Amino acid sequence: MLSGGDMLIRSLQEEGVDVVFGYPGGAALHIYDAIFRQDKVKHILVRHEQSATHAADGYARASGKVGTVLVTSGPGATNAITGIATAYMDSIPMVVISGQVPAEKIGEDAFQETDMVGVSRPIVKHSFLVQNASEIPEIIKKAYHIASTGRPGPVVVDVPKNTVNPAETFPFEYPKKLKMRSYTPATKGHSGQIKKAVSMLMQAKRPMIYAGGGVVLGEASDLLTELSQKLNFPVTNTLMGLGAYPGNDKQFVGMLGMHGTFEANTAMHHSDLILAVGARFDDRVTNTTSKFCPNAKIIHIDIDPASISKTITADVPIVGAVDSVLKDMLELVKESKETPDETALADWWKQINEWRERHGIYTQPRYNTEGDKIMPQDVIKTLYEVTNGDAIVTSDVGQHQMFAAQYYLFKSPRQWINSGGLGTMGFGLPAAMGAAFAVRDKDVVCVTGEGSIQMCIQELSTLTQYGIPVKIVCLNNQALGMVKQWQDMVYDSRYSEIHYEDSLPDFTKLMEAYGHVGIDVHKKEELREKLEEGFAMKDRVVFMNVYVDPSEHVYPMLVAPEGSMRDMWLSKTERT
C-alpha cells in the first residue's frame, strides 16, 4: 500500500526516470517527502524553476528521453511557464509535475494557488489535473506516453496536495498497457503518396532536401543521410535540424532561412522540387510566403498533419513518422528502375558550387579578418577546432546563437541544442546543465552572450553543487547585439536600450565567487590558446569571456518584409 506521493515517485521509477529537475514548496511537500524516502530518482535542486524546465529540456534534447520537472504551486508553477513554452515550440518531450493546493481549496484564491492547467493550456500538448490519488499511476503513464510519441511536447500534471497525502494509502500497480481511444499518432506514411513522391524525385532537375528538427526528434538522421547520398541531392537544415545531416559533408549547403547561407537560400528559391522532412515552413525560413520558391513542387513529410499545408501548400503531403516514411522511400528508390537525372543534377551542382564560391560562408571568410578585433565567427571556428567538432553545443539567443549555428559544423543529431521556436534568452546555461546529465563523455559547451547569460546565471550555483563541468563561451559584444543589429539596419542606428553602461559584472570574479574559473580573452592572438586552456580543465566549469568586435552583424540576412528567399543582405553594404 502506497500513498499518492509514493505512487507518484514509484511511477516515475517505472518510467525509467533517472533525474528530475525541480524546486520544492508548500503544495509539493508530500511529494518531496516521497523523493527523500527513495534513491532511484535523483532530484537536482535548481535555483529557479525556469531553469528546471530548460534543464529537463536540454536533457531531453541530448538524450532523446523525456525530461522531468517538479515544481510547487503558484509561483513555482508560473516560473516554469517560459520553459514549458520553449519546449512546446520545439516539440520537446517533457513532463512537468506541479503541486497544487488541496482540491477543496481550489477556486478560493488559496495561498499560492494558480490555475496551472489553465495558465499552461495553450503551451502544452496535454495536461492532467489529478482528481483522485488512485488515478496517479495511470495519469503518469499517459503523461509520458503522450509527451514522447507522435509529435512530442510538454505535458503538465497538476497534483492537488490532498491526492498525495501520506495518511491515505492505496494498492499500487503500474499499468502495463494504455488504452487511449482518442490518441493514435500517425505511424506509417501512405504508400501511394510515397510512390508518387519517389517518381517526382527521379524527375527533378533542381531538387533540394530541406530537413528540420523532426528528423532529429524522429531519430531519422541515418536514413536521411543515406537517402540524400543515394540521390546525390543538396541538403539544407533548419536551425532546429542542424546535425540531422552531417555539417561537414559536401552535399550539405548549410542552414537556410533568416541567417541561412547564400547557397542554401538561393538554391531553395531556384529549386524545382523540395523534399521537406520534419520541417514546418516557419516564417524565419520562408520569408514572404507568396514569394516562396516560385517554381518548386513540394513533398512534405511530417508526423503532424496540422504542420502540412499550414503556411505553404504541399503538392504531395505525407503524414507519418519520418523514420518510417524515409525507410519506405529509400526502399523504393533502391528498387526503382528510374534513376535521378544525372545530367540535370550535374548542372545543378555546378550552379550551387558557383554560388558557394561566390558568397558562401565556408569557402572564404565573409567578414573582416584584417583588423585586430576578435571576430565572433572566428571564435566559433576556433571552438569547433578546439573541441574537434564533437562537443554538445547549447546556445542562448542572439547573434552568438546564429554564429554558432553557422560556423560550428554539427556532425550528428542532438549535438546542437537551442531554443529555435520561442527564442528564449536564458535557455543556454540550464540546457547545458541538463545535457550534461544525459551525456557524460562529451564536452558540453554553452555559447552565450553577456546579455543572455544573465537571465539564468544563478545556475552557476547548481553546477557547483552537483559538480557539473560545463564550459561557457561568451561572445561578449557589450550589447544586446541582435537587437542592435536591427536598430542599425531598420532604425538608423538609434540604439534604444541595448547597452548596460558600465554595469556588466566582472565575470571572472563572479565565476570565482561560485567556485568556478573565468578566463578573459581580449586579443586575437590569444584566442585559441585561451580556449584550449579552458577546455583542458575537464572537471571545472570554465567561463571564457571573449571580447568580440561589437559592431559585427550576422550575415547573410533575408530582406524583410516583402523579400523572397533569394533576397539577402550579404554584408552591411552588399545586397543580392
Ligand X SMILES: Cc1ncc(C[n+]2csc(CCOP(=O)(O)OP(=O)(O)O)c2C)c(N)n1
Binding region for ligand X (CB under 6 A): 396-400, 423-426, 449-452, 475, 477, 479-483
Catalytic residue among 105, 112, 442, 458: 112
Site for Mg ion in 416-455 (CB under 5 A): 449, 451
Q: Is 477 in the site for Mg ion (CB under 5 A)?
A: yes
Q: Which amino acid is at 410?
A: F
Nearest to 443 by CA among 543, 546, 544, 539: 539
Nearest to 323 by CA among 183, 171, 189: 189
Give whichever of 366 and 484 is closer to Mg ion, judged by the CB atom: 484
Cell readout for 419 is: 531554443
Catalytic residue among 482, 511, 544, 557: 482
Least Å from the CB of residue 82 to Mg ion: 20
568 as an active site residue: the answer is no
Give whichever of 244 and 397 is closer to ligand X, judged by the CB atom: 397
Phi and psi of 129, rounded to 5°? -115, 115
Least Å from the CB of residue 324 to another protein: 19
According to DSSP, the residues that pair with 540 across neighbouring strands are none
By CB atoms closer than 10 A (0-12, 13-18, 19+), residue 537 is middle
Q: Of residues 76, 212, 241, 481, which one binds Mg ion by CB under 5 A?
A: 481
Instruction: Name the residues that contact another protein, by CB under 8 A.
Output: 117-118, 121-122, 125-127, 129, 131, 146, 180-183, 304-306, 309-310, 313
402 as an active site residue: the answer is no
Rounded to whole angstroms, how far apart are CA atoms 349 and 206?
9
Distances from the Cα of 369 to the Cα of 134, 302, 376, 508, 522, angstroms: 66, 42, 11, 28, 16
According to DSSP, the residues that pair with 207 across neighbouring strands are 273
The pattern of x and - marking residues 224 through 263 that bind Mg ion according to CB under 5 A reads ----------------------------------------
Task: With CB under 5 A as the rule, give the number of residues binding Mg ion.
Answer: 4
112 as an active site residue: the answer is yes
Give whichever of 128 and 407 is closer to another protein, judged by the CB atom: 128
**Contact present, 377 and 549 (Cβ < 8 Å):** no
Give whichever of 412 and 477 is closer to Mg ion, judged by the CB atom: 477
Phi and psi of 94, rounded to 5°? -155, 140
Least Å from the CB of residue 476 to Mg ion: 7
Among Mg ion, ligand X, another protein, none, residue 541 binds (CB under 5-8 Å by kind): none
Catalytic residue among 49, 113, 263, 450: 49
Buried b (16+ CB within 10 A) or exposed e, 268-295: bbbbbbbbbbbbbbbebbbbbeeebbee
Distances from the Cα of 431 to the Cα of 57, 95, 397, angstroms: 6, 16, 13
Least Å from the CB of residue 291 to another protein: 18
177 as an active site residue: the answer is no
Give whichever of 113 and 459 is closer to another protein, judged by the CB atom: 113
Q: Which amino acid is at 307?
A: S
208 as an active site residue: the answer is no
| Concatenated DSSP letters of 310-366 | SSS--SEEEES-HHHHHHHHHHHHHH-S----HHHHHHHHHHHHHHHHHH-TTTS--
Among Mg ion, another protein, ligand X, none, residue 181 binds (CB under 5-8 Å by kind): another protein
Cell readout for 326 is: 524515409
Rounded to whole angstroms, how far apart are CA atoms 182 and 184?
7
Least Å from the CB of residue 276 to another protein: 17
Taking CB positions, which residue lies at the least distance from Mg ion? 449
Give whichever of 155 and 554 is closer to another protein, judged by the CB atom: 155
Rounded to whole angstroms, how far apart are CA atoms 348 and 473?
39
Give whichever of 119 and 299 is closer to ligand X, judged by the CB atom: 119
Least Å from the CB of residue 90 to another protein: 17
Least Å from the CB of residue 258 to another protein: 23
Catalytic residue among 38, 40, 111, 385: 111
Question: Which residues are designated catalytic?
Answer: 49, 111-112, 161, 482
List contacts with Mg ion (CB under 5 A).
449, 451, 477, 481
